[in-house]
Amino acid sequence: MTTVTFKGNPIELQGTTVQANQPAPAFELLNGSLETITLANFKGKTVLLNVVPSLDTPVCAIQSKTFFSKLQNIPVELVTVSVDLPFAQKRFCGAENIELQTLSDHRETNFGIGYGLLLPNLRLLTRAVIIIDANQQVKYVEVVPEVTNEPNYEAALQALEQVVAAKV
């Protein structure tokens, strides 16, 4: 089990945290139209999963907007995952005037458990960045040690460049 801190307090994540070089675990998430989206929807595509506790918080908003701006010219599916309701995710995108693909794990938290990213007592996802290649293999994982901190954008972007280059 992986432990992170939230405002300095340790929290053990539920599930086994996904690792690089393993098959991406299956998941079922909801999009803004309340349709179920699964890992199979991304077959053949490189995906950066931008995992955040809640888009209604400043650090999550900064993280999501940063990846959105940095990935504009990179052939990758940027997917922001949180336990926010799909309506709240859609409201965030409208308020920020960005077309961000958001998926919600609020119903069953199967993504959070399957990827080992669920903060069980808070019923939130921890902050993480996961890159999955076109063959649905996990290539990069950063679980941010302190939930209130931003991820290492440069490390994620370097890993993404390697995955995209390997695909060509």
How do strand 3-6 and strand 9-12 relate by DSSP bridges? antiparallel
Return the ∠ at Cα 100 (arms to 97 and 104), rounded to 5°: 120
Catalytic site residue 93?
Answer: no
Which position among 60, 100, 117, 131 bears the catalytic label?
Answer: 60
Residue in the structure block whose two tokens are 């996961």: 130
Torsion of CA 135, 137, 138, 140, to 10 degrees: -60
Q: For residue 127, give the nearest of 93, 163, 83, 162 by alpha carbon.
A: 83
H or E stretch at 47:
strand 47-51
Positions marked catalytic: 60
